[in-house]
Amino acid sequence: MQRKYDEIYDAVVIGAGHAGVEACLALARLGLKTLVVTLSLDAISFMACNPAIGGTAKGHLVREVDALGGQMGISADHNLLQIRMLNTGKGAAVQSLRGQADKSSYHLYMKRVLEREKNLTVLQGEVAEILTENGKVCGVTTLQGQSFACKGVIVATGVYLNADIIIGEFRQQTGPNGFCRATALTDCILKMGIPTRRFKTGTPARVDKKTINFDAMQIQNGDEKLYPFSFMTDGFIENKQPCYLTYTTEETKRIIMANIARSPLYNGSIKSTGPRYCPSIEDKVMRFADKERHQIFIEPESASTDEMYVQGMSSSLPVDVQIAMYHSVIGLEKCRLMRYAYAIEYDCIDSTALYPSLMTKNVEGLFMAGQLNGSSGYEEAAAQGIMAGINCARYITDKAPVVLGRENSYIGVLIDDLVTKGTNEPYRMMTARAEHRLNLRQENADERLTPIGREVGLVSDERYARYLEKVIQLDKIDEALKVTVSPSQSAPLFAETGDFTPHSGMSFKEILKRSGVTAELLAKHFPQFNSFSMRYLEEAATKAKYEGYLTKQLSAIERTKKLEDKLLPEDADYLSIEGLRLEARQKLDSIRPLNLGQASRISGVSPADITVLMVWLARRGK
C-alpha cells in the first residue's frame, strides 16, 4: 500500500542546533526544497553552554565553515560582545580566534536567517520515525501525526535524544535549559541497526551580575584590531563587554571533597561517559588534588541580561553544595545563583557506523551530524552540519560525495577521526589532532576550501570574487617580496628591531624571516607595501617565516597521499584475507575504509596489516 504524505520535500533535517542549521542552509542554498523540524523554534542555534564561538582549534573550524559558504562565522561577527586571539605566545598555526557571543541575539539572528532562506521551511515538531524503502530513505513522520516524503534525511539532534538533567539526587527527563527532550528517534535508529551509546556533558551555574565583586577579579578585555571570523565581514569587531578572571580557593576544594559522595559522578548515579577535556569542577579537584586553585572566567551571556557564565565550574553537585561552592570563589562570595549547574546525559551513535560523507552505512540517504555523532562543541557540530548538507544534496542529485582530507582542513581531521577511529568520550577538536596543522592555519582557510565550496555550488559570486582578489594580491605580494634591498636601505628597520644589519643585500622575504620583523614594520619602512591589504601582507609574512617547515610538511602530505590514492574495493571480504590478524579483519570489516590511508588510521590495524592489504590489492589488480 502506497503511503500518503502531507507534503513532499527533497530533504528533511531533524534538529536546528548548530549542525542542523548549517545542514539545512547548505541544502536550501544548493537549490533543494528542504524542511527543518525542531523541537522548539526558541532553541534554534541555542547556546546551551558557554555563549562563545571559536577557541583553540575551534576558531579554525569556524573559518573553514565560512570558507565553504557556511553561516556560523557571519552570524558570530554580527553578535559578538568580545573577541580575542588565543595562544598569541605560540606559532601562527595554533593561534585561534575566540569570541564571546550574545546568546539571545545570536539565536534570533540565526532564526531570521532560516526564516528568510529561499527553499527552506521551518517547522516546530518532533520526528518520530524515519521511513525507508528498499534500504533507502523515503520520508519521516512526526509525533504530531504528519508525514513528509523526501529523498534524504539529516539527523542533527544534538544532546536531546532521551536527555536527562542531573543535579545531585534530582533527575529530570528534559533537554538542556528546560527545553523538552526527544524520545522517539533512538528506537528508530536502533531498529536500523545503528549502534547507540550514552554520553554526558554539563554546564556551570549562571550568576547575577549585580551580586559579583568584580574588583576582586582581573579584567579580561578583548583584543583590538583582530580580523573577524568571516572572510565576508569588513573591518574589525567592536569589543563591547569585558570578561573577568578569578580563582577557586582552598575552601572550594574542602567543600567539594567533603561532599564528593553526593556527586552523581562519584556515587554511580551517572554511568555515561563525560568529556575529558572539559571536566566538571569536582572532577578537576579530585583528579588534581595537589592543585591549590583553578582558573575561573566570568563571562557575559548577553547584553540583554545580567546573567553571567562561570566558565570552569560545571558541576552536577546538589544545590546546597553548589551555593556554598560558588560562594567560596574569589569575588563570588555574595553572588546569587540564577540557574544551577547541571549534568546532562543523552543518546548518541557509534560514529564508525558512518561513511566519511556522514551517510550511514546501513541506510542510503540517511546522514548524521553534530553531537549525535559523539562530538562536543558548537563548532564541531557546525562543521559536520555543512558537510552533511553538502553530501546529502549530492546524494539526492546523483553526484559523488565531497570528502575533505586531513591535509586540507580541520573538518577533514574531525570527520576522519569520528568515522575511522570512533570516540569513547565526547570528541573535542584540538590543534594537536591535526598532523598537518602548520598548513591548516586560520588565515588561509579560504585558500584551502573556497574553491571546493565554489565547485559544490555553495560559495556565492560575491564571496568568490573576494577570494580571487585575495589570490591576485598574494601573487603580487610574493613578487614584491623577491626584490633585494641593500644594507643601507634595511638598516633603519633592523635598528628598530634591535637586530644586526646584514653586510650584503637581502630580499624582503629574507627580511621577514628575521624574528621581530612583522608585516606592519615592513610596510612602515618600505611604503611600497602600503598598497597591499595588511591582512594579506600578514599572511605572506607568516608563509615566509615558516617556508622551510611548510616545504617539509607538503612533502609529508605527498607521501601520505600515496596511501589515500590506493582505493579499497567496496565489496572487499576482509574476513577472508589471509595474513591479516583477526582484530584487523574485524575492524576493517566494520569500518569499511575507502582507501589504504583511512585503513592505516583504524585502531587495531597495524603497519604489517597495511602491508598485507597492499599485497592483496596488487594481486587483485593482476
Do 169 and 29 meet the contact criterion of CB atoms below 8 Å apart? no
Q: Which of 273-277, 462-466, 511-515 has the highest mean pLDDT?
A: 462-466
40 and 175 within one domain: yes
Res. 2: pLDDT tops 80? no
Q: Which of 39, 37, 56, 35 is nearest to 48 (CA)?
A: 39
DSSP per residue, 27-90: HHHTT--EEEEES-GGGTT--SS--EEE-TTHHHHHHHHHHTT-SHHHHHHHTEEEEEEE-TTS
Q: Is residue 145 part of a domain?
A: yes
240 and 151 within one domain: no
The arithmetic mean of pLDDT across residues 507-519, rounded, is: 94
Do 386 and 394 meet the contact criterion of CB atoms below 8 Å apart? no
Cβ atoms within 10 A of the Cβ of 439, count?
Answer: 20
86 and 177 within one domain: yes
Res. 1: pLDDT tops 60? no
350 and 336 within one domain: no
Q: Is residue 467 part of a domain?
A: no
Of 490, 523, 551, the position where a domain reaches its end is 551
Q: Which of 109, 97, 410 is nearest to 230 (CA)?
A: 97
Q: Tell me which of 197 and 561 has the higher pLDDT.
A: 197
Mean pLDDT, the chain, as a whole number? 95
338 and 231 within one domain: yes
Q: Is residue 469 part of a domain?
A: no
pLDDT in tens, 248-258: 999 999 999 99
338 and 246 within one domain: yes
The arithmetic mean of pLDDT across residues 156-178, rounded, is: 96
pLDDT (0 to 100) of residue 344: 96
Question: Helices 378-396 & 18-29, crossing angle to 10 degrees?
Answer: 30
- Cα 350 to Cα 375: distance, rounded to the nearest angstrom: 11
Secondary element (H or E) of residue 388: helix 378-396
pLDDT (0 to 100) of residue 622: 63
Q: Is residue 556 part of a domain?
A: no
351 and 410 within one domain: yes
235 and 167 within one domain: no
Read off the CATH number of the domain in which 301 is found.
Answer: 2.40.30.260
pLDDT (0 to 100) of residue 277: 75
180 and 162 within one domain: yes
pLDDT in tens, 54-107: 999 999 999 999 999 999 999 999 999 999 999 998 988 899 999 999 999 999
Q: Is residue 461 part of a domain?
A: no
pLDDT (0 to 100) of residue 275: 80
322 and 350 within one domain: no
181 and 34 within one domain: yes
CA distances (Å), 154 to each of 21, 139, 157, 379, 557, in order? 11, 11, 9, 17, 32
- Cα 71 to Cα 62: distance, rounded to the nearest angstrom: 9
Res. 143: pLDDT tops 90? yes
Q: Is residue 1 part of a domain?
A: no
Of 320, 343, 366, the position where a domain reaches its end is 343
- Cα 58 to Cα 229: distance, rounded to the nearest angstrom: 11
The arithmetic mean of pLDDT across residues 516-525, rounded, is: 95
Res. 272: pLDDT tops 90? no
The arithmetic mean of pLDDT across residues 506-534, rounded, is: 94
pLDDT (0 to 100) of residue 102: 98
Q: Is this structure's pTM higher than 0.85?
A: yes
pLDDT in tens, 418-446: 999 999 999 999 999 999 999 999 999 99
pLDDT in tens, 316-331: 999 999 999 999 999 9
pLDDT (0 to 100) of residue 32: 98
Of 316, 343, 370, the position where a domain reaches its end is 343
pLDDT (0 to 100) of residue 515: 86
pLDDT (0 to 100) of residue 429: 95
Res. 361: pLDDT tops 90? yes
8 three-class SS: strand
The arithmetic mean of pLDDT across residues 142-157, rounded, is: 97
- Cα 214 to Cα 105: distance, rounded to the nearest angstrom: 25
Query: 450 lies in which domain range?
Result: 7-200+346-456
Cell 556527586, residue located: 263
- Cα 585 to Cα 423: distance, rounded to the nearest angstrom: 20
Q: Where are the beta strands (DSSP E) in 111-188?
A: 120-124, 127-133, 136-142, 147-149, 152-155, 164-167, 170-172
65 and 195 within one domain: yes
Q: Is residue 171 part of a domain?
A: yes
Read off the CATH number of the domain in which 143 is found.
Answer: 3.50.50.60
Q: Tell me which of 276 and 591 has the higher pLDDT.
A: 591
Q: Is residue 474 part of a domain?
A: no
The arithmetic mean of pLDDT across residues 348-365, rounded, is: 97
- Cα 535 to Cα 540: distance, rounded to the nearest angstrom: 9
What is the domain count for the chain? Answer: 4
